[in-house]
Amino acid sequence: MASNFLFFGILIAICSVVLASDPSPLQDFCVADPNGPVLVNGHACKDPKLVEANDFFLSGLHFPGNTSNPVGSRVTPANVVQIPGLNTLGISLVRIDYAPWGINPPHTHPRATEILTVIEGTLEVGFVTSNPELRLITKKLEKGDVFVFPVGLVHFQRNVGYSNAVAIAALSSQNPGVITIANSVFGSNPAIPNDLLAKSFQVDIKIIDWIQSKF
């Protein structure tokens, strides 16, 4: 009897792991059809007979992004929106440009792990583990270095050099999503009540009003 329970316990564990992962494609490709009439988790498939090379192609990633903004960085995506052929394949790419001392502010990707490679410059990167430990894991990266940000964890990058920096990052989803912490907390629509934020951050409500005015 005990062996039966062990067998079913292992079976349930294996099934849970399988169900928790993205499904594998059941055909060669499923090019996204953004105008498809069917609502699915992702995108409906374009008629395979109408698929062409440009559905799997994107040019221009060698051009620097415009970093003239308050954070001094620009993320240029290459996901299913830009490359319809990525639909169902579970992968995407971004180019990140950083002005001197520019940052990619703390954010999360709810649907993807990220692996980042420094192409030019020097970056300080890090992520924070979940409650209750909230441990900061950080490292200084040089050209050619690689760093991984686990799925869902808050992470950031900062250019710590006096020249521009560039990184390329791959993500384990066709549509990884991004939640920028400051924008989400202080720039939501409608706004999170300022008294709730004041109590959460243990500051005067006027400080919250001032921060929210920035977003």
CB 98 within 8 A of CB 120: no
The first and second tokens of residue 23, run together, are 């499904």
The pLDDT of residue 58 is above 90: yes
CB atoms within 10 A of CB 117: 15
Interhelix angle for 194-201 vs 205-213, to 10°?
A: 110
Q: Among candidates 154, 108, 101, which has minimal Cα distance to 127?
A: 154
Q: Is the peptide bond between 110 and the residue preceding it cis, with omega within 30 degrees of 0?
A: no
CB 32 within 8 A of CB 46: yes
User: Rounded mean pLDDT of the chain?
Assistant: 90
Q: Is the peptide bond between 132 and the residue preceding it cis, with omega within 30 degrees of 0?
A: yes
CB 126 within 8 A of CB 139: yes
- In the beta sheet, which residues pair with residue 139? 125
Write down the pLDDT at residue 10: 41
> Between these two residues, 18 and 137, which has the higher pLDDT value?
137
Mean pLDDT value across residues 184-197:
96
Write down the pLDDT at residue 179: 97
At 33, is the secondary structure helix, strand, or coil? coil
Mean pLDDT value across residues 7-36:
62
Residue numbers in the known binding site are 104, 107, 109, 114, 155
Write down the pLDDT at residue 11: 42
The first and second tokens of residue 157, run together, are 């990058």
Q: What is the pLDDT of residues 90-107, one digit of tens each?
A: 999 999 999 999 999 999
The pLDDT of residue 19 is above 50: no
> Between these two residues, 80 and 42, which has the higher pLDDT value?
80
Write down the pLDDT at residue 24: 72
The pLDDT of residue 14 is above 80: no
- State how beta strands 165-171 and 114-120 pair: antiparallel
Write down the pLDDT at residue 3: 52
Mean pLDDT value across residues 73-86:
97
Q: What is the pLDDT of residues 113-152, one digit of tens each?
A: 999 999 999 999 999 999 999 999 999 999 999 999 999 9
Write down the pLDDT at residue 13: 42
The first and second tokens of residue 192, run together, are 């999170």
Write down the pLDDT at residue 118: 98
Residue numbers in the known binding site for oxalate are 104, 109, 114
CB 181 within 8 A of CB 106: yes
Q: State the Cα–Cα distance between residues 65 and 186, nearest whole angstrom.
A: 26
CB 81 within 8 A of CB 55: no
Kind plus residue range of the DSSP H or E element containing 13 = helix 2-20
Confidence (pTM):
0.86
Residue numbers in the known binding site for Mn(2+) are 107, 109, 114, 155
* Residue that the structure tokens 């808050």 belong to: 154
> Between these two residues, 64 and 41, which has the higher pLDDT value?
64
